[in-house]
């Protein structure tokens, strides 16, 4: 019974190994086939990040809300 388990383990590992090899080969073949098509598709443009400065009073409103929340929670 122990030998049957070992045989089953070796067969299972061999099947997984063969599957992984076939998958890698398929991915490499697909990459080679897609290279000519990649030249037809333009590269996406980089998005420009616009930084917006907060007004001086914006932080005070958030602090006031936090203080009010703490004071109402502690009462």
What are the boundaries of each domain within the chain? Answer: 2-74
Does position 57 have pLDDT exceeding 60, yes or no? no
User: 9-55 pLDDT, tens per residue?
Assistant: 999 999 999 999 999 999 999 999 999 888 888 888 888 887 776 66
Confidence label for 56 from pLDDT (cuts 50, 70 and 90): low
Say which residues have a Cβ less than 8 Å from residue 74's Cβ, sequence separation at least 6: none
Report the pLDDT value the prediction gives residue 58, as an integer from 0 to 100: 62
Query: What b/e sequence results for 1-19 when a residue is b if at least 16 CB atoms lie within 10 Å of its CB, and e otherwise?
Result: eeeeeeeeeeeeeeeeeee
Record the pTM: 0.50
Distances (CA, A) of 23 to 7, 30, 49, 50: 24, 10, 39, 43
The torsion of the CA quartet 53, 51, 64, 67, rounded to 10 degrees, works out to: -140
Report the pLDDT value the prediction gives residue 49, as an integer from 0 to 100: 80
């Amino acid at each position: 019974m122990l030998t049957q388990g070992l045989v089953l383990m070796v067969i299972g590992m061999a099947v997984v190994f063969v599957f992984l090899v076939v998958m890698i080969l398929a991915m490499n073949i697909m990459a080679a086939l897609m290279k000519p098509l990649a030249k037809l598709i333009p590269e996406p443009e980089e998005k420009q990040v616009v930084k917006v400065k907060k007004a001086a009073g914006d932080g005070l409103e958030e602090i006031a809300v936090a203080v009010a929340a703490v004071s109402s929670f502690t009462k």
